[in-house]
Structure 1
Amino acid sequence: MPERLEVFGKVLVELRGDGVGIVTLNRPEKLNALTADFLADLERALRELGGAADCRAVVLHGAGRAFCAGMDLNIGLARDGADPTRAAYAAMRQAVSVVAAMREIPQPVVAAVRGHAVGAGFALAAAADIRICAEDSRFDAVFVKLGMSAGDLGLSFLLPRLIGPGRTAELFYTGGALSGVEAERWGLVQHVVDDPLHEAVELASTIAAMPPMGVQITKELLDTSIGASGFREHLELELRSQVIGLTTLDHADAVRAFSARPRAAHENRP
């Protein structure tokens, strides 16, 4: 039974008695596709858990059949405004704050992935400390197909460190995807299981049972080992590249083509 249950808009937070915080992206009817408000709720949830002394590990997962289908192409990240570039910049800064929170909170984050992790969803999974996925998982780097840079929410920083620069380049330049089995073989995920949420909670419970200061300091050391001192600077470069991409005619044309596809295609792939 949860010790505490809170709702942050479309984000649910359960803090269990064993010190595991479970963060659920709760927009299953849209495959947990992201909007500006959704991202603000997610950052608030992560920061609150990060400051909770009784939380020692965090699990992030998506409700329903997908982890996260990336940006909601029908709504977009930018709220309506007179200056689309300014609006896109503000929305991307909010999105960047989410992955910064994942890396900056003291608790390790375990991502439990089922179904699609597309674009920004792929980036959220990569920003976790550990990834556990189902066999039906699909990590999709769709960016270039939408006229966008693949530098999104830390993904162009973290993914080369996880699977290597050559594999990352091939995936990004072709707008490719990895299945759960391929992701495990390439080192992106640590385990492929039937029930990733159950396994992630079990692993998080094991972590939560460890002396908390040792875990926190170890997370700090691991961040340093991958060059986290430059992560914030890299996020700023990615942010600018995404704002440029969001406001190009190429992107607008690609989104129109994507949205015009038959409904069956949307159901097969977000």
Structure 2
Amino acid sequence: MKYLEGESNTLAGNHLSLKHYQAQHFAFSVQGTVATITLNRPERKNPLTFESYAELRDLFRQMYYADDIKAIVVTGAGENFCSGGDVHEIIGPLTKLDMPGLLQFTQMTGDLVKAMRACPQPIVAAVDGVCAGAGAIIAMASDIRMGTARSKTAFLFTRVGLAGCDMGACAILPRIIGQGRASDLLYSGRSMSGEEAERWGFFNRVVEPSEVLGAAQAYAQMLADGPTFAHAMTKKMLHQEWDMGVDQAIDAEAQMQAICMKTNDFHRAYHAFVNKQKPQFEGN
């Protein structure tokens, strides 16, 4: 990872500035406190490589410590989101690896999803055109998904002789769209249209192609302007409560909410309400 001179990395790595991060295998920009990751190989519909997988994994891991990034947008250059793993740069080499090498690769791709779910910032995906394979997984692993009617989302692993259980798909996708619908997509590998994705709840909203990135960035900015410490707690509990019973979840939420009540943002909101003003949250 490369940083510009003067950036802080203090308190044994507990605080890290990523505003000037220089990505090597995709585009990265920051507007205010919203970071935008753009998969930018439009001539190939933005496929992933071994290197971009690893850099995305490492960047999302670093986001845990990035106090200057409050929300993240993921999108693709041109008119497509991501076509998945590059056939020539990933699929071909995989056919020549031994079992330890294959397991190392599949664990790395799974670690990308783990890093996306573990980072405290909400992730908003802006999806247009092709969103296939690992691209569909990246959209799935995001917190919010903005799409277009012309988008085509496909968990196409079975089309290349692989199982649909890739990168957490069998755990996460049913929780978004339901077991039956997830089974349909993961067994068949077929494409899901943008309208179908919105109807099934995979897309939170469908907008015009020219508006999808702006809509995602505006939503991310709204989140970044809010109580970001509390948002991080919400994301954490949305993820952790999958494995909890109802009583355990209620107890865990009671603890998290009590913690949030000790934040300055909670007190700012109270005083703003009393004074009939809009609260200005600072994430602490």
Q: TM-score range by the shorter chain?
A: 0.7 to 0.9
How much does 1:83 deviate? 4.7
Find the partner of 1:180 among 187, 194, 203.
Answer: 194
Is the contact made by 1:150 and 1:172 (CA closer than 8 Å) also made in structure 2?
A: yes
For the pair shown, the structure with the greater C-alpha radius of gyration is 2
Residue 199 of structure 1 is matched in structure 2 by 215
The equivalent residue for 1:29 is 43
- Unaligned segments of structure 1, at least 5 residues: 230-270
**Alignment partner, residue 28 of structure 2:** 13
Structural RMSD (CA) = 2.2
The alignment's TM-score, normalised by the length of structure 2, stands at 0.74
What does residue 158 of structure 1 align with? 172
Q: 1:80 offset after TM fit, Å?
A: 7.8
Whether 1:140 aligns to 2:140 is no
CA distance in 2, matches of 1:16, 1:58: 10
Deviation per CA, 1:168-199: give whole Å up to 9, x if none.
Answer: 11222222121011000001110001121100
Identity among equivalent positions (%) equals 35
- 2:234 alignment counterpart: 218
Deviation, 1:228, is 8.8
SS at match of 2:47: coil
Between stretches 98-107 and 5-14, larger displacement belongs to: 5-14
Aligned to 2:138: 124
* TM-score of the aligned structures, taking structure 1 as reference length: 0.78
**Conserved 8 A contact 2:63-2:120:** no
Residues 77/174 of structure 1: CA separation in 2 closer, same or farther (3 Å cut): closer
| Contact 2:149–2:193 (8 Å) recurs in 1 | yes
Helix, strand or coil: the match of 2:125? strand
SS in 2 for 1:13: strand
For residues 196-239 of structure 1, give each alpha carbon's deviation from its aligned partner in whole angstroms, at most 9, with x where no partner exists.
1100100000000112211111111111233399xxxxxxxxxx
Give the direction of change, closer, same or farther, for the CA distance of 1:50–1:183 in structure 2 (3 Å limit).
Answer: same
CA deviations over 1:222-266 (Å, ceiling 9, x no partner): 11233399xxxxxxxxxxxxxxxxxxxxxxxxxxxxxxxxxxxxx
Work out whether residues 10 and 27 of structure 1, in 8 Å CA contact, stay in contact via their aligned partners in 2. no
Equivalent runs, 1:1-270 vs 2, <5 Å: 4-17=19-32, 19-76=33-90, 83-194=97-208, 195-227=211-243
Contact 2:149 2:194 survives alignment (8 Å): yes
User: Residue type of the partner of 2:80?
Assistant: A
Residues 45 and 80 of structure 2 are in contact (CA less than 8 Å); yes or no, is this contact kept in structure 1? yes
Structure 2: distance between partners of 1:215 and 1:154: 23
Task: Could you tell me which runs of 5 or more consecutive residues in structure 2 were left unpaired when the two chains were aligned.
Answer: 1-17, 246-284
Contact 2:81 2:131 in 1 (8 A): yes
User: Quick check: 2:120–2:232 contact (8 Å CA) kept in 1?
Assistant: yes
CA displacement at 1:85 relative to structure 2: 2.1
Where relative contact order (Cα < 8 A, 6+ residues apart) is larger, the structure is 1
Please identify, of 208-217 and 26-35, the stretch whose mean Cα deviation from structure 2 is larger.
26-35
Aligned partner letter, 2:119: I
SS of equivalent residue, structure 1 residue 69: coil
Contact 2:109 2:167 in 1 (8 A): yes
